[in-house]
Every structure is written in structure tokens, then in C-alpha cells.
Amino acid sequence: MSTRSKTIPQFASEAEERAFWEREDSVDYVDWSKGQRAVLPNLRPSTKTISLRLPAHLLDSIKVAANARDVPYQSLMKIWLQEKLHSK
């Protein structure tokens, strides 16, 4: 890929910059062959809500175990699931 041929202008506001990039192609301004992957270590992984039916006695036992560890029972269930997956 060639180096960028156009200079990115200075913008007076974020709205002005947004309007500029909506009508322009970044290929004319950025040499994407020199791009590097960004590492964002402080981002939380995305989560998805699920519905899980458990026998009442099993849920009660999980809640007791979570209470003994002073963590929410949903968090304890996630920890146990992750440990089980990584132990294989």
C-alpha cells in the first residue's frame, strides 16, 4: 500500500471531524499497512443474559456456598463454570 497522499485537516469540533469522515475515505489519508492491533486490557468482556432452570435444592446449595465465600451466587456459578472449562 502506498503512503497517505492527503493531509488530515485540523478540525474545530468533533462534529466537524465526524462530518469530514462521513464524506471522505480514510484510504486517501491513512497508510493502513502500518497499522497495529490495539490492546485494550481494561475492557470488560461482553456478557449475555441466559435463563437457566435449576432444581430449587441445587440453587439453595449454590447460594449457601456463595454466602460462605461472601460473593454473589451468580458470580460463583460463573467462576465454577470457567474453572471447569479450563480444567480439561
Measured distance between the N- and C-terminal CA atoms of the chain, rounded to whole angstroms: 44
My answer on whether 56 and 79 are in the same domain is yes
Q: Does some domain include residue 6?
A: yes
Task: Count up the domains in the chain and report the number.
Answer: 2
Residues 53 and 32 in one domain: no
Residues 58 and 87 in one domain: yes
* pLDDT in 10s for each residue of the chain, 88 residues: 455 578 999 999 999 999 999 999 998 888 888 889 888 888 888 888 999 999 999 999 999 999 999 999 999 999 999 999 998 7
Name residue, grid cell 497499522.
35
Rg (CA), the chain: 25
Q: Output the pLDDT for position 3.
A: 53
Domain assignment present for residue 43? The answer is: no
Q: Is residue 78 part of a domain?
A: yes
Query: Which residues constitute the domain of residue 85?
Result: 49-88
Dihedral pair phi/psi, residue 58, rounded to 5°: -70, -45
Q: Which residues contact 72 (CB under 8 A, 6 or more apart)?
A: 66
User: Which helix or strand (DSSP H or E) is residue 67 part of?
Assistant: helix 56-69
